[in-house]
Structure 1
């Protein structure tokens, strides 16, 4: 097996995209990030393949400080592929804080990573990946209507961004970085807001478009407006809008939150895979 790192994203895409296109929904995170790398939105991405006899066996991608993303193409040779990958990562002294992948691949990776490095792991996100092809038209919407966010909404979205990270247990992004990210989201017309009686009560955004699909993310309703159906309504309405331009939508849910999983299934989202993000930790010593 041969490990090949890539500096040129277009050369990497020639190897990766035919594989990603075969399971565009399941590989939507990897595929969407690859498109963002091609658009110049990430600095110093790490991209690599593991190949043998001209066949790609695995795809590896990381955009620091985000997790290492791993796709195993040859399921029958997972152990050997991971041995090669981890050996190369150690030799190259690649710095990473976590790995994200389909559940079985991620747990096999961290087990071998611990053998090589002594690093333990902790569960950061236990996620279900859902796909939507058609919205359930029988849903009763909450009152109000959706609109795209504009510059005047940025301060509100910035505050919600931080609360969202707190609620989901994600690392808190510095305020200056939040401001830059929100400005980009709004400038790219990615943020949808639900408004009722002149007040914004919920939001979501689109992310990581691929050839045929798009991701729904950052679904948030402030605490005082929850349990009124706004989250389900905005996701249903704006998914309907997105399906005018895409064949399908995907989203990730926290499997530890049965309410959100129920809401998305009511809209018409169907679970297609399980994914985890596992963080690396230094084992405690006595």
Structure 2
């Protein structure tokens, strides 16, 4: 028998799930990074934090959702137990009026939970993205393109906002209005340390960001190159240089890729990123 408990306090929730998530820190970079952000800022409004415990009161899973994003799932249980957990999750959602738009989890967990959820609810699903989680502890000596990595500066909010909007449209399930993208861009410039452009002759041509710290690592995300600047090695260069910088302060870097994009996966492996696990983003319909 499993028990689901909702937490309002992210610090108390973190204390409960920390040891479980740290069993595979790189693979769990998303839930760990989200919780670390919640502990130190109010960036996420009304997050859902659900602890899954077994009959011995041991934490065996967590559900984390920052609306309107998908439910981030970690479960360390047997396949036969996932149906029972899905039923309890469904009961919780019915009682609380919560809607789950989809799941993000390790591949097998995502598939098993999705099938169990659809069995309980009668809903269907589509696979939004096949993903792979990578980890890097040392950057390979690769050939860099022309140009250099520079921090995004005050005054570049408009360009950063435009690229954020284009990146989100390409990769995420949400959409951003122009005002929301501009607000996010200003926040990155004002409050974050690791937001960089790759510039050629003073012109930004690609970007990458370091965010979502974990105990020993940090995630590389928002890797984006506008279409007119692609196939010139700029993304490889900015990711390699940013990763090298991040490794001065962290033991490893992690990142998610779209597994159906062979070009980006090849680029990251050439830099030195090694596969950790496969993940899936699944939409409930």
TM-score of Structure 1 vs Structure 2, range by shorter chain: over 0.9
Distance 2:276 2:72 in 1: 18
Deviation at 1:260, TM superposition (A): 0.4
Residue 245 (1) aligns with residue 236 (2): no
Task: Return the match for 2:143 from 140, 144, 158.
Answer: 140
Residue 158 (1) aligns with residue 170 (2): no
| Other-structure match for 1:205 | 209
| Other-structure match for 1:262 | 266
Task: Return the match for 1:176 from 167, 176, 179.
Answer: 179
| Other-structure match for 1:15 | 16
Q: Residue 101 of structure 1 aligns to a residue in which SS?
A: strand
Deviation at 1:170, TM superposition (A): 4.1
Q: Is the 8 A contact 1:58 1:81 kept in 2?
A: no
Distance 1:14 1:219 in 2: 31
Deviation at 1:82, TM superposition (A): 3.2
Deviation at 1:155, TM superposition (A): 0.7
| Other-structure match for 2:43 | 41
Distance 2:222 2:164 in 1: 8
Deviation at 1:124, TM superposition (A): 1.3
Deviation at 1:148, TM superposition (A): 0.8
Superposed CA RMSD in Å reads 1.5
TM-score, with normalisation over the residues of structure 2? 0.93
Q: Is the 8 A contact 1:65 1:96 kept in 2?
A: no
Change (3 A) 1:199 1:252: same
Equivalent residues in 2 for 1:1-286 (5 A)? 1-39=2-40, 40-51=42-53, 52-75=55-78, 77-137=81-141, 139-168=142-171, 170-187=173-190, 188-281=192-285
Aligned length: 280
- Range that drifts further, 50-59 or 255-264: 50-59
Q: Residue 260 of structure 1 aligns to a residue in which SS?
A: helix
Deviation at 1:86, TM superposition (A): 3.2
Distance 1:75 1:183 in 2: 44
Question: What is the CA deviation profile of residues 58-98 of structure 1, one whole-angstrom value per residue up to 9, with x for unaligned ones?
Answer: 11111111111111123464343333333333343321211
Question: What is the CA deviation profile of residues 190-226 of structure 1, one whole-angstrom value per residue up to 9, with x for unaligned ones?
Answer: 3111111111111101110111100001111111111
Distance 1:95 1:79 in 2: 18
Consecutive unaligned residues in structure 2, runs of 5 or more: none
Consecutive unaligned residues in structure 1, runs of 5 or more: 282-286
Deviation at 1:53, TM superposition (A): 1.3
Deviation at 1:244, TM superposition (A): 0.2
Change (3 A) 1:10 1:171: closer
Distance 2:58 2:89 in 1: 16
TM-score, with normalisation over the residues of structure 1? 0.93
- Range that drifts further, 76-85 or 155-164: 76-85
